[in-house]
């Protein structure tokens, strides 16, 4: 079940909100746990058992860590943290990476491993990272141990951010799990944020995906041009941004409606003036997770240049693998790791002297080429596509003119929408005007999004496969 579906909008969500607010306060976490398990099991009921097993393992290990620490047995506490991390990583590795490893290792003469072809549990990369953060936070004494298994289960399965994030660390919602309230203002702001995210997803991301598919079809037919190639990369990059940031808006809005405050996940990344800044603005919950739970424990940048280089490459190799079990994701992660190393050790002085508009163009070029690696799993096809972008084919065709006429306005709206300008203009309006327009815009967004969902057939959520 996806947020941008009629089943969710007009079935699951109204019934869930009714059940949640009719339930006594002491039973609201139990209600959330039940509806979240139903939400997760809607598409893959067999994998609900994996979710429950993950809850039991990490809940138990939180107790074991806390007990060892209270007795001054730090080494034993670290052992239990390690057990929890290993369990989560093995769970992730088995379902997400086994077939990739088996297929590649079986190329070694005399070695044959079975390819199981198991479907990937939805959102496994997100909820395994969340549960890992719990035992680590308990060990670091950044969060109290959770003694109520229902409350812990509600944290792990919380449906607004279960499938595609943002990645919620336990310590950021521990207080909300124990006690929270929802005012009419909170609910209204959450509903507004949800509707904005829905409109971004349905009215902007989905049509941009159709343009990207048109460019991919042109490549398959041998008719791709340099202009069409870059148009396609821009369309995919904008689709991914409005798709994922739209989902994050919906998740944050739903959380607000239920009394939770989730951290922001995007901060206008396409306005960045360096690749490093881009990754501080894009999917911030994942960047923060890797920085806090991997980069810093490895030593960060405190142990000299050589170890800093090693740590950056490890983190970005893991970032690529986190996104998918495929060579293109590995190369994508290393690609950005190398650019970050270049910016830190080679380009830093040059970038400080470069005009802002040049730095923005440079960052966009690097990022959109990276999206080509991200989007096209077949490396041969990816190489061919990028080759055309850099002069390995015709520069322009009549089809590119048709695409510009058909999608030019959409692309312009998405470019403007990826900057802070619309929000700044909105905040400059008098408060009475904003109060009057908000419900009108929300209703219009909901009606247009519903019309698109009724009439359209192209409605993917790109981050579901992670």
Tens of pLDDT along the chain (466 residues) come to 788 889 999 999 999 999 999 999 899 999 999 999 998 888 778 788 888 888 999 999 999 999 999 988 999 999 999 999 999 999 888 989 998 999 888 888 888 888 888 888 877 888 888 888 899 999 999 888 999 999 999 999 898 888 776 888 888 888 898 888 889 999 999 999 999 999 999 999 999 999 999 999 999 999 999 999 999 999 999 999 999 999 999 999 999 999 999 989 999 999 999 999 999 999 999 999 999 999 999 988 887 888 999 999 999 999 999 998 899 999 999 999 999 999 999 998 898 899 999 999 999 999 999 999 999 999 999 999 999 999 888 999 999 999 999 999 999 999 999 999 999 999 998 989 999 999 999 999 999 999 988 876 565 656 555 5
Q: Considering the candidates 61, 268, 283, 323, report the single residue annotated as catalytic.
A: 323
Structure pTM?
0.91
The residues, ordered by sequence, that sit 6+ positions from 176 with a Cβ below 8 Å of its Cβ are 259, 260, 261
What is the DSSP track for 64-114?
Answer: HHHHHHHTT-HHHHHHHHHHHHHHHHHHHIIIIIHHHHHHHHTTSTT----
What six digits make up the tokens of 79?
């052992």
- In this prediction, residue 3 carries a pLDDT of 87
Across 217-367, where does the E strand assignment appear?
none
Q: Is 7 helix (H, G, I), strand (E, B) or coil?
A: helix
> What secondary structure letter does DSSP report for 462?
G
What six digits make up the tokens of 429?
């309006």
- In this prediction, residue 466 carries a pLDDT of 52
- In this prediction, residue 461 carries a pLDDT of 58
- In this prediction, residue 129 carries a pLDDT of 87
What is the C-alpha to C-alpha distance for residues 461 and 323, in angstroms, rounded to an integer? 14
Residue 339 contacts residue 366 (beta carbons within 8 Å): yes
Residue 44 contacts residue 118 (beta carbons within 8 Å): no
What is the C-alpha to C-alpha distance for residues 422 and 402, in angstroms, rounded to an integer? 28
- In this prediction, residue 165 carries a pLDDT of 67
Residue 400 contacts residue 409 (beta carbons within 8 Å): no
Smallest Cα–Cα separation from 413: which of 237, 200, 268, 233? 200
- In this prediction, residue 460 carries a pLDDT of 61
First to last CA, the chain: 15
Q: Within 10 A of 102 (CB to CB), how many other CB atoms are there?
A: 15
Burial class (CB in 10 A: 0-12, 13-18, 19+), 339: buried
What is the C-alpha to C-alpha distance for residues 323 and 92, in angstroms, rounded to an integer? 12
What is the C-alpha to C-alpha distance for residues 436 and 28, in angstroms, rounded to an integer? 33
Smallest Cα–Cα separation from 57: which of 17, 85, 76? 85
What is the C-alpha to C-alpha distance for residues 218 and 231, in angstroms, rounded to an integer? 12
Q: Is 136 helix (H, G, I), strand (E, B) or coil?
A: helix
What is the C-alpha to C-alpha distance for residues 280 and 286, in angstroms, rounded to an integer? 10
- In this prediction, residue 170 carries a pLDDT of 87
Angle between helices 226-258 and 379-389 (to 10 degrees): 120
- In this prediction, residue 462 carries a pLDDT of 61
What is the C-alpha to C-alpha distance for residues 38 and 35, in angstroms, rounded to an integer? 5
- In this prediction, residue 62 carries a pLDDT of 93
Across 114-265, where does the E strand assignment appear?
none
Burial class (CB in 10 A: 0-12, 13-18, 19+), 418: buried
Indicate if 323 belongs to the active site: yes
Residue 403 contacts residue 231 (beta carbons within 8 Å): yes
What is the C-alpha to C-alpha distance for residues 56 and 61, in angstroms, rounded to an integer? 9
What is the C-alpha to C-alpha distance for residues 117 and 106, in angstroms, rounded to an integer? 15
């Amino acid at each position: 079940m996806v947020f941008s579906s009629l089943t969710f909008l007009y079935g699951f969500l109204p019934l869930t909100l009714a059940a949640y607010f009719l339930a006594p306060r002491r039973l609201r976490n139990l209600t959330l746990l039940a509806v979240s398990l139903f939400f997760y099991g809607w598409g893959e009921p067999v994998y609900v058992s994996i979710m429950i097993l993950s809850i039991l393992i990490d809940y138990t290990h939180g107790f074991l860590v806390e007990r060892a620490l209270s007795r001054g047995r730090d080494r034993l506490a670290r052992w239990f943290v390690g057990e929890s991390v290993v369990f989560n990583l093995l769970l992730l590795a088995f379902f997400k990476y086994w077939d990739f490893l088996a297929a590649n290792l079986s190329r070694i003469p005399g070695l044959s491993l079975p390819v199981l072809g198991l479907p990937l549990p939805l959102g496994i990369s997100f909820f395994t990272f969340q549960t890992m953060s719990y035992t680590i936070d308990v060990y670091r004494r950044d969060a109290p141990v959770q003694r109520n298994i229902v409350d812990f289960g509600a944290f792990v399965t919380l449906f607004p951010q279960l499938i595609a994030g943002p990645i919620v660390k336990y310590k950021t919602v521990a207080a909300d799990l124990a006690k929270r309230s929802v005012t009419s203002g909170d609910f209204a702001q959450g509903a507004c944020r949800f509707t904005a995210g829905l409109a971004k997803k349905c009215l902007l991301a989905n049509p941009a995906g159709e343009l990207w598919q048109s460019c991919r079809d042109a490549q398959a037919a041998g008719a791709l041009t340099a202009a069409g190639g870059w148009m396609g990369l821009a369309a995919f990059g904008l689709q991914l941004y409005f798709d994922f940031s739209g989902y994050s808006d919906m998740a944050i809005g739903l959380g607000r409606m239920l009394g939770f405050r989730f951290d922001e996940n995007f901060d206008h990344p396409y306005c960045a003036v360096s690749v490093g800044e881009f990754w501080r603005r894009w999917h911030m919950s994942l960047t923060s997770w890797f920085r806090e739970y991997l980069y810093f424990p490895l030593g960060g940048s405190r142990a000299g240049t050589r170890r800093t280089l090693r740590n950056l490459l490890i983190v970005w190799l893991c970032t690529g693998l986190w996104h998918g079990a495929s060579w293109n994701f590995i190369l994508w992660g290393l690609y950005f790791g190398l650019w970050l190393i270049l910016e830190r050790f080679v380009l830093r002085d040059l970038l400080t002297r470069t005009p802002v508009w040049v730095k923005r163009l440079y960052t966009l070029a690097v990022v959109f080429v990276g999206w080509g690696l991200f989007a096209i799993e077949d490396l041969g096809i990816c190489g061919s596509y990028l080759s055309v972008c850099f002069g390995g084919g015709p520069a322009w065709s009549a089809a590119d003119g048709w695409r510009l006429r058909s999608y030019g306005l959409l692309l312009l709206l998405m470019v403007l929408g990826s900057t802070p300008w619309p929000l700044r203009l909105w905040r400059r309006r008098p408060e009475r005007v904003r109060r009057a327009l908000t419900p009108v815009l929300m209703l219009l967004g909901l009606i247009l999004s519903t019309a698109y969902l009724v009439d359209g057939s192209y409605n993917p959520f790109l981050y579901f496969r992670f």
